[in-house]
Amino acid sequence: MDSRRCKCQWCGMKIAAPNGAQTITCPRCQSVTQLQPARNYGFANFPTANNNMSPGFPAFPSRPGRMSPNANNFQPQQFNPMSPQINNIRPPAVHGRKRAVLCGITYRGHPKSLKGSINDVLSMRYFLVEKLGFPNASVVVLTEDEKDPYKYPTKVNIRSALRWLVQGCQPGDSLVFHYSGHGTRVRDHDGDEIDGHDESLCPVDFETEGRILDDEINNTIVRPLPRGATLHGIIDTCFSGTFLDLPFLCRINRAGYFMWEDHRIRSYKGTNGGIAISISACDDHQNSGDTTAFTGFPTGALTYSFIQTLEQETKLTYGRLLMSMQKKIQEAQKGIGLNGENETQEPQLSSSEQFDIHSKMVAI
**Enzyme catalytic residues:** 182, 238
Q: What share of the chain is helix, strand, coil (3-state, %, to 5)?
A: 20, 25, 55
Decide: 290 and 115 in contact? Cβ < 8 Å: yes
- Give Cβ neighbours of residue 20 (< 8 Å, ≥ 6 apart): none
* Amino acid of residue 172: G
Q: How many other C-beta atoms can be found within 10 angstroms of the C-beta atom of residue 5? A: 8
Residue 280: C-alpha distances to residues 16, 183, 203, 262 (Å): 42, 12, 18, 17
Sign of CA dihedral 87, 221, 27, 128: positive
Burial class (CB in 10 A: 0-12, 13-18, 19+), 101: buried
Contact 136, 94 (CB under 8 A): no
Query: Cβ neighbours of residue 9 under 8 Å, at least 6 residues apart?
Result: 31, 33, 34, 148, 150, 151
DSSP letters for 323-364: HHHHHHHHHHHHTT-BTTB-S----EEEESS---TTTSBP--
* 299-300 and 290-291 beta bridge pairing: antiparallel
What are the φ/ψ torsions at residue 240 (nearest 5 degrees)? -110, 10
CB atoms within 10 A of CB 353: 14
CA 245/CA 278 separation, integer angstroms: 9
The Cα 364–Cα 362 span in angstroms is 7
β-bridge mates for residue 236, sequence order: 180
Do residues 68 and 142 lie in contact, with contact meaning Cβ atoms separated by under 8 Å? no
Q: Is 4 helix (H, G, I), strand (E, B) or coil?
A: strand
